[in-house]
Amino acid sequence: MLKTPQKPTSLAVLTSGGDAAGMNPAVRAVVRSGLDAGLAVYTVSEGFQGLVDGGDRIKKVSSSDVGGILHQGGTVLGTARCDEFRTREGRLRAAANLAKLGVDALVVIGGDGSLTGANIFKEEWRELLQDLVAAGEIDKAVADKHRRLTLVGLVGSIDNDMFGTDMTIGADSALHRIAEALDAIHSTASSHQRAFVIEVMGRNCGYLALQSAVAAGANWVLIPESPPTEDDWQESMFSALKAGREIGRRLNIVIVAEGAQDKYGNPITAQEVAEALRERLGEDTRVTSLGHVQRGGAPSAFDRYLSTVLGYAAVEQVVTSPGGEAQLVGIKEHQIISSPLMECVAETRAVADRIAEQDYETAMAMRGGSFRESFQMLKTMVRAKPHAPDPEQRRLRLGILHAGGPAAGMNMAVRVAVRVGIDNGHTMLGITNGFRGLERGNIREMDWMSVNGWASRGGAELGTSRHLPRDDQFGQIAEQLEEHQIDGLLMIGGWAGYRGAYQLNAQAERFPRLGLPIVCLPATINNDVPGTELSIGADTALNNIVKDVDKIKQSAVASGRCFVVEVMGRDCGYLALMSGLATGAERVYLPEEGITLRDLEADVSDLRDGFMFGKRLGLVITSEHADPVYTSGFMKSLFERESEGLFNVRQSILGHIQQGGDPSPFDRIQATRLADKSLRYLIEQALSDDPISAFIGLEHGKIRFTPLADFTELIEDGLQRPREQSWMALLPLARVMAKPGVPAL
């Protein structure tokens, strides 16, 4: 009987296949978590080629060796296609190189090709070692000690085409690149009334095409999984675009995935699409192929976070199940999971096979619910005008307002809600400047085209305010609701919006009109409202912070500088913790934990030690309300006073930069999903005899509704944050990534 494999003592990590932004943070996380778990950690350069070559391509590393790579795109380890690794001889050399170093655990970051290759290596490992013993290359004792190879795969691929994870490392950054390009094209295209055809990557997977079309408000999309159902696919596209022009749309954008095809499996190229548009629409049509732009650039905040948690989990997997079946560690429904690697590869390939067999229905079904929903959603959004209302159906009047601070993505949510409402035969009313606008009757009907071009716009076109109705103003609000015959309200906003909505309903006994159904949709950069693990705007704010902190770090050309960066969040430390993870801060201060004098003393001593031993840069992130006395200004003075000349300190309060900017793709996509669902729920409630008000949210990535009446029970007394905050579970990981005394960045 085989003995249970021993816990590995060493671990190697490599990147392979096509590069993807986020590979570096993943390597950094694997290295630091491995060291934290007491393992010797090696990095392998040039993918499998480095394993085959050995020598200085397999390098034992310390924590500081992976400093300064978090923000870099691509992979500092390098990646190469390696034909030798496809041969047994090549893999024999790789096994020899690892066994001689006593390494029997491997984390591979790559696509399905790389993970398949790695799995073959794992399966052969035992025999390979036996061959090496027979050839006298390694001792039998070594082979016996390392009988099994522990293999964990992380998916680095911009296409988001892999089973076993909802998001692959690099996909979100690629969406950022595409959205940036599309936003740029938007402005030039609408100046000229041109049509643009944009080709994006994705040979077997339409993820990038579909989500970027949703995010950019594109007018047509062609993806491999769901080809046009008509023989003459050009005609349906043409009539949709023509209808758009007729109602005054100045711009047509068509997105084509690399692997787009017609229903017979013939490829549809961007050039063909452009020719069809020129011919039938008679329009000046340009083609832009985004190509490698999509792979490049710095990893987005989400990719940095994702790679960090996945790298950490990969090491946990190595340590807790040594020698077991190869695993793929991914994220599903907002939680880290591991699944048998080869099952994931097989499923991934099965979708490609279904597409090749023109079994599109199964291919689409295998992509899962939210992919299909996005596609359906897009079909509504691209319409030039709504479906004709059903004359039998009751026509509701639904109001939309914001309240709270501005959050990127608010406009997208309004755009979607307005169109979904009108498409379902209802009248949509925009209320300007929050509850104040409602009091004053600043209410106007919104038509289909009134939200044209809102998808990519930051800020809040309807205006938002933190004003909460005073006791004597509820009557006025009830009058306005009566006058405008409003049947339901969608509040897209943050804390003030939730409070205001709750108070309105709570006054229903005094003013029955205020008992109308209200749906609250979380849109606040602080991510501090109950009933959801994520709110719209937080991702954009994080990306803003990350970009600025990257710049701040670059400004420290002279060594010996520590930055104290203050971020927003009021009573909630979400932005501080997440930006700390994504920027490599060595210390993060949160209002949930507070700050003690002892903490600051320890920081001073860690900073002094670090700088004494060659650290060049320090970074501390603090949340604006982490402590009323120990503020960022206080920290700056304290650290500088106690620096003993080893470093100087700069304070940086990022301020309103965090609330501005165009919404990130993720915020646009979530805004679309949540607004669609919220409005449908509101319609249902407004039509019911016993309507319920609720807030929509995400729990484990799934949409759920919580009764608005529960608001006060779900929040901390006297504080602006929910009692339960799932992201707090990330605290231990943040500590491992930035151990005191270690140059963290």
18 binds ligand ADP (CB under 6 A): yes
453 binds ligand ADP (CB under 6 A): no
Q: Report, in Å, the least distance between residue 14 CB and ligand ADP.
A: 10
Q: Report, in Å, the least distance between residue 343 CB and ligand ADP.
A: 16
Looking at the Cβ atoms of 108 and 518, the one nearer to ligand ADP is 108
Alpha-carbon span 306 to 25, nearest angstrom: 9
Stretch that binds ligand ADP, among 11-19, 289-297, 521-529, 549-557 (CB under 6 A): 11-19
Q: Report, in Å, the least distance between residue 345 CB and ligand ADP.
A: 10
SS3 for 402?
A: coil
Is residue 472 part of the annotated active site? The answer reads no
Q: Which residue, 539, 572, 522, is CA-closest to 725?
A: 572
Stretch that binds ligand ADP, among 78-86, 245-253, 340-348, 557-565 (CB under 6 A): 78-86
Looking at the Cβ atoms of 59 and 81, the one nearer to ligand ADP is 81
Q: Which residue, 327, 152, 305, is CA-closest to 729?
A: 305
Secondary structure (DSSP) of 480-501: HHHHTT--EEEEEESHHHHHHH
SS3 for 392?
A: coil
Dmax of the chain from CA atoms? 92
Stretch that binds ligand ADP, among 10-18, 212-220, 386-394, 444-452 (CB under 6 A): 10-18
Q: Report, in Å, the least distance between residue 599 CB and ligand ADP.
A: 44
725 binds ligand ADP (CB under 6 A): no
Q: Report, in Å, the least distance between residue 113 CB and ligand ADP.
A: 2
Alpha-carbon span 541 to 661, nearest angstrom: 8
463 binds ligand ADP (CB under 6 A): no
Cβ burial, residue 650 (10 Å; 0-12/13-18/19+): middle
Looking at the Cβ atoms of 203 and 334, the one nearer to ligand ADP is 203
SS3 for 612?
A: helix
- Residue 623 phi/psi, 5-degree rounding, is -80, 145
Site for ligand ADP in 86-105 (CB under 6 A): 86
Looking at the Cβ atoms of 79 and 226, the one nearer to ligand ADP is 79
Q: Report, in Å, the least distance between residue 211 CB and ligand ADP.
A: 20
Q: Report, in Å, the least distance between residue 40 CB and ligand ADP.
A: 25
660-688 core/surface letters (b: 16 or more CB in 10 A; e: else): eebbbbbbbbbbbbbbbbbbebbbebbee
Under DSSP, the state recorded for 722 is: B
85 binds ligand ADP (CB under 6 A): yes
153 binds ligand ADP (CB under 6 A): no
DSSP H or E run through 280: helix 270-281
Contact string (CB under 6 A) for ligand ADP, positions 315-354, x = contact: ----------------------------------------
- Residue 617 phi/psi, 5-degree rounding, is -145, 140
The residue from 53, 159, 528, 571 that is catalytic is 159
- Crossing angle for the helix pair 574-583 and 538-555, to the nearest 10 degrees: 50
- What number of other Cβ atoms are within 10 A of residue 555's Cβ? 12
Looking at the Cβ atoms of 82 and 635, the one nearer to ligand ADP is 82
Secondary structure (DSSP) of 171-232: HHHHHHHHHHHHHHHHHHHHHHT-EEEEEE--SS--HHHHHHHHHHT-SEEE-TTS--SSS-
Q: Any idea of the CA torsion for 696, 699, 704, 705, to the nearest 10 degrees? A: -50
- Structure tokens of 353? 């096979």
Q: Report, in Å, the least distance between residue 697 CB and ligand ADP.
A: 35
Looking at the Cβ atoms of 30 and 520, the one nearer to ligand ADP is 30
Alpha-carbon span 18 to 307, nearest angstrom: 16
Looking at the Cβ atoms of 69 and 82, the one nearer to ligand ADP is 82
Looking at the Cβ atoms of 85 and 589, the one nearer to ligand ADP is 85
Q: Report, in Å, the least distance between residue 111 CB and ligand ADP.
A: 3
SS3 for 505?
A: helix
Q: Which residue, 71, 32, 9, 60, is CA-closest to 553?
A: 71
82 binds ligand ADP (CB under 6 A): yes
Looking at the Cβ atoms of 112 and 592, the one nearer to ligand ADP is 112
Contact string (CB under 6 A) for ligand ADP, positions 105-124, x = contact: -----xxxxx-xx--x----
Could you tell me where the beta strands, DSSP code E, fall in 509-637?
518-522, 561-567, 587-589, 617-623
Cβ burial, residue 646 (10 Å; 0-12/13-18/19+): middle
> Measured at CB, which residue is nearest to ligand ADP?
113
Task: Return the CA Rg of the chain.
Answer: 27
Q: Report, in Å, the least distance between residue 318 CB and ligand ADP.
A: 20
Residues binding ligand ADP: what is the number (CB under 6 A)? 17
**471 near 507, Cβ under 8 Å?**
no
Give me the residues paired with residue 617 across strands.
561
Looking at the Cβ atoms of 110 and 469, the one nearer to ligand ADP is 110
Positions touching ligand ADP (CB under 6 A) are: 16-18, 48, 81-82, 85-86, 110-114, 116-117, 120, 157
Catalogue the active-site residues.
Answer: 159
